[in-house]
Amino acid sequence: MVQYSKLPCSVLPYAHALGEDSPSTVSKAFKKRLRAGLPLWIRGHVWACITGGVDLLRRAPTLYAAAAVRAFGSGGAGDDDLLNIPSFSAVDLSTDACLGSGYRADAAPEALIGADAAREANTVLVVLATENPDLNYVPALPRLVRLLTLFLAPASNYAVATAMIEASRSRGWYFPLSRRALALFVETFVSLAKSKAKKATKALAKVGLSLADVATPWLSSLFLGFLPTYAVLAILDAYMYEGSKILYRVGLSLLKAMTLELQGAASRVDAIAVICAKTWAIGSSAPAFAAMLKDGFGLHLQRKKFAKLASAHAAAGVDEDRFGKAVLYYRPNLSAASDLLSFEAMSLLWYWLPSRFRLHSGERIFSTATDGYLLRSLVSAAAETTRRERETVPILVLIRPAAAPRTVVGLYLSHGFGSPEADPEATWLGNGESFVFCAHREPSGTPVLVHYAWDAGATSGRASFYRIDDGTLVVGHSSSGRALAVSDDFSSLLT
């Protein structure tokens, strides 16, 4: 039950329409009012009401404060805590291979909020990631949280995002919560388009443009950056109440609205140019946008049909790699860019770090280009960093073999190397978080990383991950051999 006394009076006409009913049983009149668009000054409050955020805060007024303490401690978020923030696999859509040229960065949420609001949004995102450690692929979430800072205080922003995540977990209402779920969501849209936007779909197929490549950036961004902000806000008014079904309606209606132009496209490039230009033009014209929404709301779409299509696609199998090869959990924030791995490859590598370290920035402490070719110098640099930080720091080592310049191998250690004065014969070191990896770049430019985790079974239960023996770093010991062996002067690398 919504606590109406806590809402501004201007929200009450909308809030009272909810009563004690669930969103699926509220009157058609209420849905019609939302589809007509909300006044700007009450939008955030109504969103909080209809998503369940208000109810969450009513039941747990300290919900956000308590979660923030768990994430940052009693001192709150410091600057260092916000150097690196969760991306939930959101990528820079201006680089999208299909619709990147149509993405307007000035219409993205990041461009709409100031520094203080950006800090609030980043803080909320870190808390959400801490409280939902299983979520690593929800590209719409960071964009939505940043947009919500325009209307809501951090506690309400967090409550709304949490309520939407819970609704998505229980009934798939708002977001696909994994790469596979997004793949099925997009494929379901493609199937709907074949019957609801037949001519546009045929026009795209004629020039060899995949509808999935068009739909993925649209749906995963909530159209933010592809439509003007006011248009997206109007879409979200209905989305907050009716869920992801609204995204289908908008996408299908946009395709129908540009059918004639798509039929005139002579090539894939022409079709992409039409989609980018026409999408923005429709959103920029109030009459055209209203007509597009009216057409979308008039489409006959059934959730039972969505579920049936998704099940069919799941049974047939989907190519998840088409929906974002780079599964970015956190964007690596590095003191200096890597000379050996691209940012995309580093992002993939960052995904394998323990969650407590992904939020922190990375500092380069050793490079053969500036520090020479001695293993002992690397170990000393790690020890000096540990002394400076007054705690053991994790170490990530990247090595490019001279015989294979397109390949990078390396290792990760949660507890660093320890002191170089320690007895190298004492024991094997490492723990279950340690791993080795291999990275290479395909001819197409796509980075490919392979991860080899620590295996207690292969080491008879010992923490036999690495040791420095007679000036040689040996990594990944097992009965079948070792994963890496690096000589003191880096002249020898065995894998």
Give the separation between CA 239 and CA 246, rounded to whole angstroms: 5
| Predicted local distance difference test score (pLDDT) of residue 179 | 83
Q: Which residue has the higher pLDDT, 495 or 243?
A: 243
Strands ordered across the beta sheet of 395-399 = 395-399, 407-413, 435-441, 447-453
Q: Which residue has the tokens 């933010």?
A: 224
The mean per-residue pLDDT over the stretch 166-177 comes to 92
Give the separation between CA 359 and CA 332, rounded to whole angstroms: 8
2 CB neighbour count, 10 Å cutoff:
20
Q: If pLDDT is split at 50, 70 and 90, which confidence band does 13 have?
A: low
Report whether pLDDT(63) > 90.
yes
Most confident listed range (86-95, 224-233, 403-412)? 224-233
Mean per-residue pLDDT of the chain:
82
pTM: 0.69
Q: Which residues of 198-228 are buried (b: 16+ CB within 10 A; e: fewer)?
A: eebbebbeebebebbbbbbbbbbbbbbbbbb
Q: Which residue has the higher pLDDT, 133 or 227?
A: 227
Report whether pLDDT(442) > 90.
no
Residue 33: what are its φ and ψ, rounded to 5°?
-65, -40
124 Cα distance to chain centroid: 14
Residue-wise pLDDT for 262-294, tens only, equals 999 999 999 999 999 999 999 999 999 999 999
Q: If pLDDT is split at 50, 70 and 90, which confidence band does 464 have?
A: low
Report whether pLDDT(101) > 50.
yes
Residue-wise pLDDT for 344-403, tens only, equals 778 778 777 876 676 667 788 888 888 888 888 888 888 888 778 777 778 888 888 888
Which tokens go with 302?
A: 């059934």
Q: If pLDDT is split at 50, 70 and 90, which confidence band does 4 have?
A: very low
Q: Which residue has the higher pLDDT, 77 or 173?
A: 173
| Predicted local distance difference test score (pLDDT) of residue 367 | 87
The mean per-residue pLDDT over the stretch 16-41 comes to 68
Contact 288, 257 (CB under 8 A): yes
Helix axes 140-148, 211-221, angle to 10 degrees: 30
* Beta bridge partners of residue 413, listed in sequence order: 395
Q: What is the DSSP string of 336-400?
A: S--SSS-HHHHHHHHTTS-HHHHTS-B-----HHHH-S-HHHHHHHHHHHHHHHTS---EEEEE-
The mean per-residue pLDDT over the stretch 441-461 comes to 66
Between 93-102, 328-337, 483-492, the lowest mean confidence (pLDDT) is in 328-337
Report whether pLDDT(423) > 60.
no
Report whether pLDDT(23) > 50.
no
